[in-house]
Every structure is written in structure tokens, then in C-alpha cells.
Amino acid sequence: MVYQKLDKLDKQILRLIAGDARIPFLEVARACNVSGAAIHQRIQKLTNLGILKGSYYVIDPDKIGYETCAYIGLNLKNPEAFDSVVEELKKIPQVVECHYTTGDFDMFIKIYATNNHHLLNIIHDKLQPLGLARSETIISFNQAISRQLPIMEMSSDGDR
């Protein structure tokens, strides 16, 4: 995959908005010593390039009743069914991430449930009918780290 070349201003903007997506453009402009219009144009450019994929509030699942977070490795009976399984997973609102993986699983999902009983119902009623050969569930007790990737300087040889 080709990465986009970012100049010093782009990186400075990304560092600022990654720290606070609600920071006003004028405050970013002041910190970068450029005009508000320049910031607006750069943000638009970064969005058009797909580097920025929107901004949103992060909801704490526990605070709205989702006490169980689980990661589930899925093995499909028919691996050619990836696309149709993903489309069905999209219909399950408690599934918040899905990754194609290497290793022991065909795909790996992250799911939130109100409690362990609710998780069991989702696995039994919604996941098993998707044609799983097997699944393995790992329950998360607590998220220890959650952060954006750092915006780092690239060396001349491409090391990150």
C-alpha cells in the first residue's frame, strides 16, 4: 500500500486534531502560524486523500449498559463465504469491528454485549447460523490502552 507524503504542516495539524477532534480550526491555525483558510484547505485535502476518516464522539459502552466486551475468532465452514458473512455481521449492531486475519482464524470480531448471557445469545442465535466451523471467544476485563497512532517523522530510507 502506498502511503501519502505529508509535509511538516500536515503532520502538525494531524497531531493537534488527533489530540482533540473538537479543536477549533482557528486555534489550530494559531498553533501552526497559518491562516484559518489554510487549515480548512489542509483538513479538506487530508480528508480527500482518506487520511482523515471523519470525527466522532467516543461513547463509553459500559456507561450505556454494555458490560461485556469480547473478541471472537471465527472459522468458516466455507471460507469462500467471507463476503456474505461480513454482510451478515454488519447487520448485528453489537459487532463493532471485523478483521480478516492470518493464523488460527479466518476472521476476528470485536463485540459488545450487555452481559455474558446476552453474549451467549448473540453467539448462539446470530453467529452460529452464519456457517461457522468453530469459534473462540476471549472476554476483555478492561481496556488498558486506547489511542491514535503517533504522527512520526519518516527517515530517508522509509523506516517508520
What is residue 40's predicted lDDT score, i.e. its pLDDT? 94
Task: Give Rg (Cα) of the chain.
Answer: 20
93 has pLDDT over 60? yes
Which residue's C-alpha cell is 471523519?
A: 54
Q: Tell me the C-alpha distance between 93 and 112, whole Å.
A: 9
What is residue 136's predicted lDDT score, i.e. its pLDDT? 97
Residue of 160 and 24 predicted with greater confidence? 24
For residue 110, what are the β-bridge partners?
71, 97
Domain of residue 43: give its range.
8-48
Nearest to 126 by CA among 98, 72, 89: 89
Residue 2 lies in a domain: no
Same domain, 13 and 76: no
Question: What total number of domains does the chain contain?
Answer: 2
Reading the block at residue 159, the C-alpha cell is 523506516
What is residue 157's predicted lDDT score, i.e. its pLDDT? 45
Q: How confident is the model over 30-85, as pLDDT tens digits?
A: 999 999 999 999 999 999 999 999 888 889 999 999 999 999 999 999 988 999 99
Point out the least confidently predicted range of 19-23, 127-131, 140-144: 19-23
Residue 95 lies in a domain: yes
Same domain, 132 and 65: yes
